Structure 1
Amino acid sequence: MKRSEKKHRARTQGEPEKVSSTAPRLPRALYTTGFDELASRWFKNPKAPSKLAPAVILGAAAETLHVSEALLLSPAVCCHVYGENVPLCLLIRIFGVEGVEQLLEESSLQFLLWRPMVLYWPLEQKQKITGIDPLAAGNHSDPAHSDPQASVEMGLRGWSGLPWAKLERLAKLAAERTHLPAANVPHDAIGAVRSAYDGGALQRFGFDKNKSREKLDDAGRKRLSGLAEDIAKGIVLYDMEFDLHESDWAWRQLLRFGEIVNDSGVFEAVEKGLILEHLPSIPRLLAQNIITPQDVVRLRNDPATLEFRQWLWGQPNPRDAEAVAKAWLASIHGKPLKDRVWFKHVRLSTFSALGGIVGTAIGSPEGLVAGTLVGAALNQTLGAVDTFGLEKMLSKPSPRRFADLLRRKVAKHAADGMSDAPRKQRRAKAAKQRKVKK
């Protein structure tokens, strides 16, 4: 086994790190498939029909705001990559080379290069082949799907549009932050599906254990291989202690792997809390340019933001939006809730932000992606001590300072808009006078 494979195998299947019993168990990162889906449907597809553009634009807008919020509130973000790393190119268009380098240095931005293959043998049209198990497992061996360095380099050279000399350091960092699933993952996934099938556990999906898998038609074989592929992804995410970013694309990828996707509410909880503070949601702040990319990079390490993350992830159940809202309201009234305990395990969720970005959904997908995605990430970690810098925190953290921080940004944005108004009026008046003279 190659040294690099051993390294990635350890990442995916090694023993989980031990953390203090007093610290909450956090996801290492939030896993998202949206940018890779955009790459496959549009950027890598020279035959993509022009009628697909509106859907790509709206999808990009929604995904960029979801990921922006995740980068601000979660430990890290991990982007799914299939083949050439085009998601990295999209991120460069948004953050710039220096910004992406910073995120990679902090391990705030990571990638999962997908090499497992879960296949099914289709029935021949002329000759029905029986007696052969329809599922087959393997791993991609071509460089784009199996070598992080090659995936990164091929993506950057093909889609970044930047000189290689400017990207060499970034490419090295991106390759180092790219995870590669262990070679046994697809085999384990197929083994799990076969056992479940034979045991009758897949009857709710329409598979009769009394019907041999070899007798399944092509539609059944495809659905069965889809289950195995979902389980393969679930195995990797579970072993890596990643949570699922609940975009539409990610839901379609892992809808059936309930262990990963069932819990929800962290981002909804933040939205409810900001409503109590009479503030817009974070996606709306981003969409309206009240928070800029430069702002977010600074905000992520602001003491108020650090304190807020400690408070949020220290709730008994951060995914319970109603409970978090009550705790937030209690902090506003100065009456902290009793019997607070550290949670053991949470799942992240996002909510639809399309209502806040419809006005920005114009232009080419490239222009939209380049102009919409903002955000920054937090350092990768498992323990709250490392994640939030508890030694620097107050003994009783509160969400109020974070709300005040956002409130100041809203006020400044409004003040800047008001200061621009007289200037705009003068320009309009001058233009009108010039028109009259003509």
Structure 2
Amino acid sequence: MISDPSMFPVEYTQVINEVAEELLYYDKIAFQVYGENIPLAVLINTFGVKGIEELLEQQAIEFVLWTPIVTYLVEDIPGVLPLQSGNMSSKAHCDPEESIIRGMKWMLNPLPRRYRRTLTKKLEKVYKLPSPEAAQPAVEFGYQGFEANIFAQFGLPKTKELTELKVDERAELCSLANECLELAISASFKYDVSMSKRFVGLNRTEFQRLRNAELIRNVTDILFEIEQVPNFKELIKQGIIGIKEVPKIRGHKSSVKFRSWITQLGTSTKAKGIAKEYIDSIANTKGFFETQQGKFFKTVVVTAFSGVVGGVIGGKIGSFIGVTASKLAEPFIDLGLNLLDAYVFEGLTKGWSPKHYIDKEIRSLVERKK
């Protein structure tokens, strides 16, 4: 919904910039799609067909065709539970091809038929569909959370029975259940959550595993600040990185290596000093694990290696606009750097350092625009 049509150009530009940022921060981002794939039309309008094909080749984008729904009663019916669950049944909501075809109709300049057919086949391969049974557990979560008074902190305390809730309370309960549904589907696809979710703020282990996307962004921004270069948001805002340049820039080998490396460091929230020493030591001949900070890092931060090594190798990091896409850390965590950790780390960084990426890829762009 657009509350103020006069603000549409500003809001549209903001959304496009945010998508471009996500593509630079993460290996992959996924979009929630409700029926016709309007996000696809926006992406093609923004990056062009060539840009979209580059992103597909890089496995940088996915689409989740959203079929499950949780609804609430809008009329007061005594004795009836407030929520219902189900799935969308229209062809556009269930069939990726139909979703793509209808989405392309929103393009500013429609593609020739031969391009549409070729692109549609490629796009169908990056569609994901949630389980048909996904919505019912979210309803049960809503009921159980209300009965346990978990939702009191969200403004919905248990002061009455479920069947006695007023329409505004039913709407809020439905909103909480849908939020749970989104998180559950995110976890099932091994996605991280980028946008703020109320449940993610709870201090619970299962939700903490969904927070990696923000950590990756925050650590990247810290390193850019240390090296005194603008972050991706500012680079795009200032026109240093053009929107149409994003697919090519993120496809550079150095960019791919940096995202893999930052995924590991991103699972740690350690101080700037450690991050700075980490970068400098890799750039120098002296190994990081030979430094004093490195020894400390080895003891307390090595959790980032064993836990996410699968994610680094898989290279499926990213974020949703709504939900993010990434290979989550597996539950096995080791406090010591074992041989496999060391081997993988050496393989990732041999002959390359994140500082090289910042100097060669980012700083050079800044200097070019001066």
TM-score by length of 2: 0.76
Distance, in Å, in 2 between the alignment partners of 1:325 and 1:72 is: 24
User: How many residues align structurally?
Assistant: 323
Residues 138 and 187 in structure 1, CA contact (< 8 A), matched pair in contact too: yes
Distance, in Å, in 1 between the alignment partners of 2:60 and 2:53 is: 10
Distance, in Å, in 2 between the alignment partners of 1:383 and 1:396 is: 26
**Would you say 1:121 and 2:78 are equivalent positions?**
no
**1:259-338 mapped onto 2 (5 Å cutoff):** 259=207, 264-293=214-243, 295-315=245-265, 317-318=266-267, 320=269, 323=271, 326-332=274-280, 334=284, 336=288, 337-338=293-294
Structure 1 unaligned blocks of 5 or more: 1-40, 42-47, 351-378, 415-438
In the alignment, which residue of structure 2 is the partner of 1:73?
A: 25
**Would you say 1:239 and 2:188 are equivalent positions?**
yes
Distance, in Å, in 1 between the alignment partners of 2:318 and 2:113 is: 36
Calculate the aligned-residue CA RMSD, in Å: 3.3
**1:20-35 mapped onto 2 (5 Å cutoff):** none
Deviations 1:205-257 (A, max 9, x none): 444546221111111111111111111111100111111223xxxx3xx3334
Distance, in Å, in 1 between the alignment partners of 2:217 and 2:258 is: 13
Residues 120 and 222 in structure 1, CA contact (< 8 A), matched pair in contact too: yes
Residues 87 and 132 in structure 2, CA contact (< 8 A), matched pair in contact too: yes
In the alignment, which residue of structure 1 is the partner of 2:6?
A: 53
**Would you say 1:147 and 2:95 are equivalent positions?**
yes
Distance, in Å, in 1 between the alignment partners of 2:154 and 2:260 is: 41
In the alignment, which residue of structure 2 is the partner of 1:20?
A: none
Report the 3-state secondary structure (helix = DSSP H, G, I; strand = E; otherwise coil) of the residue aligned with 1:265: helix
What is the identity, as a one-letter code, of the residue corresponding to 2:163?
Answer: E
Residues 100 and 170 in structure 1, CA contact (< 8 A), matched pair in contact too: no
Distance, in Å, in 1 between the alignment partners of 2:240 and 2:157 is: 55
Deviations 1:148-180 (A, max 9, x none): 111111111243531333221112222221111
Distance, in Å, in 2 between the alignment partners of 1:61 and 1:296 is: 15
Distance, in Å, in 1 between the alignment partners of 2:138 and 2:113 is: 39
Residues 108 and 380 in structure 1, CA contact (< 8 A), matched pair in contact too: no
Residues 318 and 324 in structure 1, CA contact (< 8 A), matched pair in contact too: no
In the alignment, which residue of structure 2 is the partner of 1:213?
A: 162
In the alignment, which residue of structure 2 is the partner of 1:398?
A: 353
Report the 3-state secondary structure (helix = DSSP H, G, I; strand = E; otherwise coil) of the residue aligned with 1:289: coil
Relative distance call for 1:390 and 1:76 in structure 2 (3 A) is farther
Relative distance call for 1:236 and 1:62 in structure 2 (3 A) is same
Report the 3-state secondary structure (helix = DSSP H, G, I; strand = E; otherwise coil) of the residue aligned with 2:32: strand
Deviations 1:380-428 (A, max 9, x none): 867999xxx97864348532101111222222332xxxxxxxxxxxxxx
Residues 81 and 113 in structure 1, CA contact (< 8 A), matched pair in contact too: yes
Residues 46 and 244 in structure 2, CA contact (< 8 A), matched pair in contact too: no
Report the 3-state secondary structure (helix = DSSP H, G, I; strand = E; otherwise coil) of the residue aligned with 1:138: strand
Distance, in Å, in 2 between the alignment partners of 1:183 and 1:85 is: 20
Distance, in Å, in 2 between the alignment partners of 1:77 and 1:240 is: 12
Residue 408 of structure 1, aligned match among 351, 359, 364: 364
Relative distance call for 1:403 and 1:118 in structure 2 (3 A) is same
Residues 290 and 409 in structure 1, CA contact (< 8 A), matched pair in contact too: yes
How far did residue 137 of structure 1 move? 0.7
TM-score by length of 1: 0.65
What is the identity, as a one-letter code, of the residue corresponding to 1:130?
Answer: P
How far did residue 295 of structure 1 move? 4.6
Distance, in Å, in 1 between the alignment partners of 2:102 and 2:242 is: 30
Residue 78 of structure 2, aligned match among 106, 130, 149: 130
Relative distance call for 1:68 and 1:318 in structure 2 (3 A) is farther
**Would you say 1:341 and 2:302 are equivalent positions?**
yes
Relative distance call for 1:151 and 1:244 in structure 2 (3 A) is same
Distance, in Å, in 2 between the alignment partners of 1:78 and 1:166 is: 23
| Identical-residue share of aligned pairs (%) | 25
In the alignment, which residue of structure 1 is the partner of 2:14?
A: 62
Relative distance call for 1:204 and 1:303 in structure 2 (3 A) is closer
Distance, in Å, in 1 between the alignment partners of 2:193 and 2:326 is: 15
In the alignment, which residue of structure 2 is the partner of 1:426?
A: none
Relative distance call for 1:97 and 1:63 in structure 2 (3 A) is same
Distance, in Å, in 2 between the alignment partners of 1:161 and 1:294 is: 17
Deviations 1:71-123 (A, max 9, x none): 12312010111121010011001111122123224331111111111111122
Residue 176 of structure 1, aligned match among 108, 121, 125: 125
What is the identity, as a one-letter code, of the residue corresponding to 1:146?
Answer: C
**1:93-112 mapped onto 2 (5 Å cutoff):** 93-112=45-64
Distance, in Å, in 2 between the alignment partners of 1:287 and 1:325 is: 28
